Structures are given as structure tokens and as C-alpha cells.
Amino acid sequence: MEGETGRGREVVGSPLERIVSGGAAALARAHSMGLGRWLRMEREALAQTVKVTVACALAWWLAAYVLKVDLPVLVPIGVLLTVSATAYSTLVRGGQQILAVVVGVGAATALIWLIGANVVTLAVLVVAGLVLTRLLNLPAQNVQIPITALLVLALGSTYGFARLADVLLGAAIGIAANLLVLPPRFVDKAGKELCGLSAELADLAEDMSKGLRGDWDREMAGDWLDRARALSQRLEDTEQAADQAAESVRLSLRRRRYDRRLRQVAEAATCLDHACHQLRGIARGLVDLVAGVRGLPGARGADLPEPLADELAALSRVFRDFGMLQVGHGRREDLDDLCAALDDGERQQRRLATEFHHTRHTELRSLQGALLDDCARIRHEFDPDTGPHRAAFPRQD
């Protein structure tokens, strides 16, 4: 149905607008889900925040009162620079931080010995540090090499060795915290992201249903299409969340226990991507209809049969229930409601097919057939028994 060659991009607002919209979306999600469910979804993020805070406090205490280093604050900074999203990436980042500091100390010490401490040395250290960062394949935001070199230039070579010791201690604490104490498992986070996107797709389908019951126009249909495009683009990014979930258990001794959940997350992301594309096709068809393109009747054909609005309402329930099934172990009540919504949608499809059967306008009949097909495809994507994404549903014992 969707005839566009490329996917639309969501318009990116200013940083303040993104913060405000993100906060509003979080509050709306917490309100719609209820405080209990929302806290259940956020419990891992809260646990990781507490863990990193405790690790920083421990690092400060060891540096200040046990090892009695001159600048104990550098050790918790090392923890923050090392701790990453997953245990595996924390280990990699810790190695990168240590390598960067070693190279920075060595480069600064050698240059000061050769040409002394002056503006030329400073310029050479910055250039060499940034070039080495790229050559060593360090992340673009990792500027530890030039920073360490400049600090050695300013404070002397003895600082360089002290900084190396502080970074080693901070990296060790950060790695140990992420490997041994509640290592982050982003499987639940990926499920939470899928739940949020599924809820937004449910809102879109519900708005389309309500709009079709009233006096909808080209502007409303265009807004539905824009929202579908934005959600389609965001769903492409959920592949990264699925990859992060797989990486988060890479060093786990009990990795196999997560295999089924990882398959569910990956399959659910694919399912939502397909269904979103089909919902976007419905929105595209409605825009074409009201715009009167390709010989369609335009605003005269905007009075669509009520079963189409009813089917979109049923699909909204399907999207919402599917999203809730991606949180935790899923609830039987959500699965039962999803199946009931699928049955309701099928009934509305039969009514809608009967209504469309009387259409004599050739182009309009072709569009109606495409709308029917997109609705049927969405239901098939979410069918837990015969659909192509059965692995996207949690096992119900």
C-alpha cells in the first residue's frame, strides 16, 4: 500500500523540546499503565543507578582513607568513565581508558623531555592525541589521550603516574561492579521500549478510528501518516535495543536462561516493524483517498463504512495488549484480550468486506481492497497461534 521509496524521518526539535516531550511521554505512559506497572518496568534502571552510586562512593573511600591518594576524586571519575551500558562494553571501555591514559602519559613525558613544556608541546600533544584516538579505534567521544597529556604537561610527570594509578583503580572498581553486582540485563529494557512503541501505535490506531467516525479531512489524515512515519523510523532503532540486550548477557555464566527471552525481543521488534508498516499503509491510503489522487473521489469518498473504524479500534487493542506482553513474563489476561480483539477485528473485516462489495468505482474499490488487506495482515502478524511471529509471545505456563 505504501508507495514511497524511502521512510520519512522524524523532525528533531531542540534539546529542550526533546527533554520536555520525553518527560511528557514518560508521565503519560506512567499514567496509562498505572504506577505499579510503571515501577516494575523501571526497577532495573533504578537498581543500576544505585549500584553505580555505591561504586563511586566506595571508590572515593578507598582512595581517600585507605590508599590516601592526593586527588581521590579521580577514582570515582574513573568509575563513571568506565561503567557502560553492559558488562561486556564496560570491560572494553575499561581497557580503552587504561590504554588512553598510558599513551597520554607516555606521549607527554617523551615530548617534554625532547622539546620542553611550551605552546608547541601543547599543540603537538593535542593533535597527536586526537590522531592516536582515531588510530587506536577509540570512541570519538574518548579524549582521554589529549586530556591526560595536557594534565601531565601542566602538573608534571609525577601526576601522570598518579593518574594512571587512579584510572586503574577506578576501572577495576567499575568493571567489578558491572560484572559481579547485578550486571545490567537490557532484555527488560528492550521489552520496555517495545511496549512503549506498541502503546504509541495503539494510540495512533485509536485516533484513526475516532477520526473516521467524525468529519475527518486531509489534514487529519496527513497527521496520521506523519505519526506512522515517525514510529516506523523509531522501530528501526529497536534493532539496536535488541542487539544491546544480546550483548548484556554475553559474559553471563547463565546465558542460556536468557535465550528464549532474547528470541522473543528480536521477534517482537520484527513483528511491530511489519505491523507499523501496514498501519502506515492504511494512513497512506486514507491520505490518497481524501486528496483525490489517481482518480479517487476525494472528499466525496471520505464517508467510509463504520466497520473500518471498528476494526481500527480492535487493532488498537491488539497493539496495546501485545506491548504489555513484552514486559516481564506477560500476563494471561493481556493475551486473552489480544485474542478477543483479533476475533473482533475479523468480524469487522467481514462486515467491511460486505460493505465494500457494493462499490462500483474502480479506483476506489482497489483502494478499499488494499485497506482490507492491510488490516488482515496486521491481525496475521499478531496471531499467537498461526502467525509468523509466535516466538514474540511469552510462554504461558
Q: What radius of gyration, in Å, describes the C-alpha atoms of the chain?
A: 28
CB burial readout 147-180, b (16+ within 10 A) else e: bbbbbbbeeeeebbebbbbbbbbbbbbbbebbee
pLDDT for 6: 38
What was the pLDDT predicted at 7? 37
Predicted model pTM: 0.63
325 close to 394: Cβ distance less than 8 angstroms: yes
Comparing 309 with 188, the larger pLDDT belongs to: 309
pLDDT of 273 above 70: yes
Which comes out higher in pLDDT, residue 322 or 5? 322
Span 108-158, pLDDT tens digits: 888 888 888 788 888 888 888 788 777 776 665 567 777 777 777 777 766
Q: What pLDDT shows up at residue 37?
A: 65
Give alpha helix (H) positions in 136-217: 144-155, 157-180, 187-213
Q: How far apart are CA 336 and CA 319, in angstroms?
A: 13
pLDDT for res 240: 67
Grid cell, residue 389, equals: 511471529
**CA gap 368, 309 in Å, rounded:** 13
Could you give the percent of the chain with pLDDT greater than 90?
A: 29
- What per-residue confidence (pLDDT) applies to 10? 42
Distance between the two ends of the chain, CA-based, in angstroms?
39
Of the listed ranges 210-219, 230-239, 255-264, the one predicted with least confidence: 255-264
Helices of type H across 214-331: 218-248, 259-291, 306-325
pLDDT for 4 equals 45
Find where cell 479531512 sits.
Answer: 217
Residue 377 has pLDDT above 90, yes or no: yes
The answer to whether 225 touches 284, Cβ cutoff 8 Å, is: yes
Greater pLDDT, 284 or 1? 284
Specify the range with the lowest mean pLDDT, choosing from 15-19, 167-171, 188-192, 344-348.
15-19
Residues 34/327, Cβ–Cβ less than 8 Å: no
Query: Higher model confidence: residue 148 or residue 85?
Result: 148
Task: Please determine, for residue 62, whether its predicted confidence score (pLDDT) is greater than 80.
Answer: yes
pLDDT at site 254 = 59
Question: What is the predicted pLDDT for the residue at 256?
Answer: 63
Q: What is the pLDDT of residues 8-49, one digit of tens each?
A: 334 445 566 666 766 676 677 666 666 666 666 666 677 778
CATH architecture for residues 186-392: Up-down Bundle (1.20)
Calculate what percentage of the chain has a pLDDT beyond 70.
76
Instruction: Report the greatest alpha carbon distance in the chain.
Output: 91
Look at 100 and 309; give whichever has higher pLDDT: 309
Write down the domain spans for the chain: 42-180, 186-392
pLDDT of residue 314: 96
pLDDT of residue 12: 44
- pLDDT score, position 61: 93
Task: Name the band, by pLDDT with cuts 50, 70 and 90, for residue 382.
Answer: very high
Task: State the pLDDT at residue 39.
Answer: 65
Distance CA(161)–CA(48), nearest Å, equals 31
Q: Would you say residue 378 has pLDDT above 80?
A: yes
pLDDT tens-place string over residues 286-339: 999 988 888 888 777 678 889 999 999 999 999 999 999 988 777 899 999 999
Predicted pLDDT of residue 32: 66
Q: pLDDT grade, residue 214 (50/70/90)?
A: confident
Q: Which three cell numbers stand for residue 171?
A: 576501572
Cell of 130: 586526537
- C-alpha cell belonging to residue 234: 523509531
